[in-house]
Amino acid sequence: MNIDQLSPQEKRALLERLLRSGGSLTPVKLEEHGTFKALRSRLSVVSRWTEVHPFFKAQEGVTRDTTQIGGRELLNFSTYNYLGLSGDPRVSAAAKDAIDRFGTSPSASRIASGEKTLHRELEAALASWLGTEAALVLVSGHATNVTVIGHLFNRRDLILYDALAHNSIVQGVTLSGARARPYRHNDLGHLRELLKEHRADAERAVIITEGVFSMDGDIPDLPKIIELKREFNAFLMVDEAHSMGVLGATGRGIQEHFGIPSSDVDIWMGTLSKSLASCGGYIAGSSELIRYLKYTTPGFIFSVGLTPPNAAAALSALSIMAAEPERVAQLQRNAKLFLEEARAAGLDTHLAMGTPVLPVVTGSSFHALRLSDALHRRGINVDPVISPAVEQDKARLRFFVSSTHTPEQIRQAVQAMAEEIAKLPARTSVIGETLSSLPSRDRADLMVSGRITDPGKVFRRRAKLVDPLTGEREKHFDPEKEDQNSVAARKFYEQFGSGNGIDTSVLSESLVVEVPGLEGQAAMGRWRGGSAFQDYWAHQRKVRPSEKWTVDYVMAYGDDLTISGRRTLPVGEEWYLHLLTMKGGKIVRVEEVLDGAAWRGEGAPGPEAATLLIQHDAVRATENGQLMRDLYEAWVRKADIEKFIVRCAPDVVWEINGPKQLPFAGVWRGIDAMLQFWQDLAAIMDFHELYIDALICRGDQVFSLGGFRSTAIPTGIAYSDPFLQVGTFRQGKLQHFIDYLDPRIDLAAYRPDVYE
């Protein structure tokens, strides 16, 4: 490339490319992207928590009430073969006959030369069964929702869908480009509010719900949704993937369950892979709707048609279901029995309503994985559903009941589940301060005042930390030394803070005390030598006299300590933060972090104290402080995380400082990796409460002092932990976040096996 021959625009574009690539145009491998790394990390965590990997377990035969895995027969609750028709000899024979007659593939899209008489027979049978004018079958249930919703609606339309709708519905809504609003799960009052607010601005509106919700097993109040549809002149689409063959006396689904005519719903969607023992999806409705979809839907006209054996299997299963309604009745009895037994055993079945989808909520992904693993060892196959498929505190085992299960099998599974849950650690042990001793805090207001004492005073455990793999002691962690440093530093600060002089016995002759700041600021300075602290103290009393200092936080890790508390000024009270380094029991370095913003904890001085405080860029510091507040609100209140993520730099670094034995210590680079860290942390930490005592803003940095109460899910140990968190911002974007915890508390809670 001859740079001299490039135009100014081409040179500018080349420079931008070089800057984005760090000066190199070498392409990055796809698998090195953060999303790949995050998945590898997540799968590694799952492998550590389970003996049998819970995903992609190879089934070695037909899956009904039992299954074969690894040469072993297990009682099976992980299949939606609801009516036991997959593997039925009549269904299998129909599929084999179709292969002999039509081959294994249509070998073309149906609009071209892939149309088979079997397709028409199946579609006619589905329409007749559902009471609609026509039906259309597609090769995949998921693809059916994506392509039909994405094709039928556009940016001028409004789509209102249940917040717990299946991923295929959400993907279809996204593809459509329509204005989309999820309504709270089965909350028809909220649905009405959204219709009133947005319907008038849309050309068309459609409400989308499900017959049986696939994660919770509950059903919507369809008659009332139909009333809303009519009132607001909207269309209605119902996904019957898990209600076809399940609801109603004969298995005709939610319309039979409620006794409503099929014409009250504009678009019926369903799958062939559950009660109908095949693969694929269908749409049923008016003949005009089906004709339009047949000639225009991308996922149909540009896709191969349903395979002949799949079409024949579904047609045969539909015929058997119609002829043998006792299968549906037995399925409903089994589902009712499971729910009754589970509730009697004290299991949390969440929203279950007696359909064959029966969740047992475990409260965390860790527990869900462990319980699934334990049941597998006991000969019961049931899959965990973990975050992000569901919210972390709604992680669960999802049981699918079929008509082929016996009452004895159901009772055996429920009893085993109850016994394994009882083996989980009880939340009785408390590390650090007892939870009841901490001041009560209201989550609605994160900026509240409150104190916690340092763990060095309340946590007296002595230990050596040993690497379980190498047997070597952790070099950077010495709890006995840290306790000694904490006690010495606290005593030193309490003495001079109360006006009783400076204890020079803990000060090094080479001590350095520094107050960074901008040139010309009164409080800044640097002092060296054995009298450095006295010189610092004398200087500070001149420029901003303080009457009393408290010591509210003392945290130690290795040779480093954090000392923080409040000091009383003539105009009020402010927080201070000192970063210390100690060697051989002596303080060798002190750095004071001064607050450059007006946002502090309770009792902070007002604007009239500006002449006494170090003022960096107060506007920037306050904005950065607000960004930190956004982070805490997103974490504590489970707010829209996008509010915070959009303020992070793409290459943000997230760091948890601590010994390598802590499961959440480490460094994560990039937004994807950071989000994965949060996800993994939620799987092992049952978070109760977070509080912030002070946000101290210095230029581009925000120092946050606070604490949280949690339970370590792997051990069941409850604990309270102080922290110092430091966020570094550049141009309104978070660049680096580091969290300093007290490793003595965290190790005792999460790794009692190596913390003796």
Asked whether residue 367 carries a pLDDT value surpassing 70, the answer given is: yes
Residues of 16-36 as b/e, b for ≥16 C-beta within 10 angstroms?
eeeeeeeeeeeeeeeeeebee
Assign 208 a pLDDT band (cuts: 50, 70, 90): very high
Asked whether residue 96 carries a pLDDT value surpassing 80, the answer given is: yes
Backbone angles phi, psi at 724, to 5 degrees: -120, 120
The most distant pair of C-alpha atoms in the chain lies apart, rounded to whole Å, by 100
Torsion angle defined by CA atoms of residues 628, 631, 637 and 641, in that order, rounded to the nearest 10 degrees: 150
Q: Which of 127-141, 458-472, 474-488 has the lowest mean pLDDT?
A: 458-472
pLDDT of residue 16: 65
Assign 635 a pLDDT band (cuts: 50, 70, 90): low
Assign 28 a pLDDT band (cuts: 50, 70, 90): low
33 part of the active site: no
Backbone angles phi, psi at 75, to 5 degrees: -65, 130
Contact 164, 216 (CB under 8 A): yes
Q: What is the mean pLDDT of residues 29-55?
A: 75
User: DSSP letters along 38-66, please?
Assistant: HHHHHHHHHHHH-SS-SSSPPP-S--SSE
pTM above 0.75, yes or no: no
Q: What is the mean pLDDT of residues 743-751?
A: 76
- Annotated catalytic residue, options 274, 394, 578, 736: 274
616 part of the active site: no
Asked whether residue 739 carries a pLDDT value surpassing 80, the answer given is: yes
pLDDT of residue 17: 64
Per-residue pLDDT of 524-537, as tens digits, reads: 789 999 999 999 98
pLDDT of residue 599: 30
Q: What is the mean pLDDT of residues 320-335?
A: 98
More confident: 148 or 485: 148
Q: What is the mean pLDDT of residues 261-289?
A: 98
- Annotated catalytic residue, options 242, 257, 367, 616: 242
More confident: 667 or 414: 414
Q: What is the mean pLDDT of residues 77-98?
A: 97
If you search the block for the tokens 């959204």, which residue do you land on? 194
- At CA 123, angle to CA 119 and CA 126, rounded to 5? 140
The one-letter amino acid at 266? D
350 part of the active site: no
Contact 379, 74 (CB under 8 A): yes
Q: What is the mean pLDDT of residues 32-52?
A: 72
Backbone angles phi, psi at 312, to 5 degrees: -65, -40
Asked whether residue 459 carries a pLDDT value surpassing 70, the answer given is: no
Structural domains in the chain, CATH included, are: 52-80+326-422 (3.90.1150.10), 89-323 (3.40.640.10), 451-596 (3.10.450.50)
Mean predicted lDDT score pLDDT of the chain: 82
How many CB atoms sit inside 10 A of residue 9's CB? Answer: 8
Per-residue pLDDT of 591-614, as tens digits, reads: 988 665 433 333 333 333 332 233
If you search the block for the tokens 């962690």, which residue do you land on? 477
**Lookup: tokens for 403:** 């008509």
Assign 552 a pLDDT band (cuts: 50, 70, 90): confident
Taking alpha carbons only, the member of 481, 485, 622, 513 closest to residue 578 is: 513
Per-residue pLDDT of 470-484, as tens digits, reads: 334 344 456 667 778
Q: Which of 141-145, 164-168, 488-492 has the lowest mean pLDDT?
A: 488-492
- Ranges 85-94, 503-512, 730-739, most confident: 85-94
Contact 400, 356 (CB under 8 A): yes
Q: What percent of the chain has pLDDT over 70?
A: 79
Asked whether residue 659 carries a pLDDT value surpassing 70, the answer given is: yes
Asked whether residue 150 carries a pLDDT value surpassing 70, the answer given is: yes
More confident: 621 or 731: 731
Per-residue pLDDT of 440-449, as tens digits, reads: 223 222 222 2
Q: Which of 40-44, 199-203, 318-322, 743-747 has the lowest mean pLDDT?
A: 40-44
CA distance 313 to 341: 34
Asked whether residue 616 carries a pLDDT value surpassing 60, the answer given is: no
- Annotated catalytic residue, options 168, 214, 262, 720: 214
CA distance 591 to 578: 6
Assign 112 a pLDDT band (cuts: 50, 70, 90): very high
